Amino acid sequence: MSWELILLLLSFVISLGLLAAAFYQFICLSDLESDYINPYDLSSRINAIVTKEFLVQGMLCGLFLLTWHWFMFLISAPLAYYHLKLYMNQKHLIDVTEIFSVLNAEKKYRVIKIGFYLVLFIVVLFRLVVTAVELILDEDG
């Protein structure tokens, strides 16, 4: 099996996980808006995964850089930089006392991240299929 195929399979799983994490955060914020969850539970749920999400997305970006996948690195680099900037400014966690004043902004931020992760997922899936087909055709050749 080719190393590129293994990398793309790993990238596929990671991008799917990032998409699921962003969608989970959006659902939690929607539950708060509908009053199905209290602010403390919301902040503890989202804050538990946000740092891990930042770390995994940064590692995926670094993996693309180290393996010379420039296009996918350039797609994922702006969000990795933004995550790093949020983390360095200590603005990455949700505050229980301010959640209702920033709820709409947080939902918009999560929707944008879902769109970004969806684009990344589609690109990785396309590259995975192309690489797998090329490997199958090369074996038959």
* DSSP conformation class of 69: -
Evaluate if pTM is beyond 0.75.
Answer: yes
Residue in the structure block whose two tokens are 């590259």: 127
Q: Which two tokens stand for residue 87?
A: 């983390």
The string of DSSP codes covering 49-60 is: HHHHHHHHHHHH
User: Could you state, in order of their start, the residue ranges of all structural domains in the chain?
Assistant: 3-140
Reported confidence tier of residue 21, pLDDT bands at 50, 70, 90: very high
> CA-based Rg of the chain, rounded to a whole angstrom?
18
Residue 141 has pLDDT above 90, yes or no: no
What whole-number distance in Å separates Cα of residue 65 and Cα of residue 81? 14
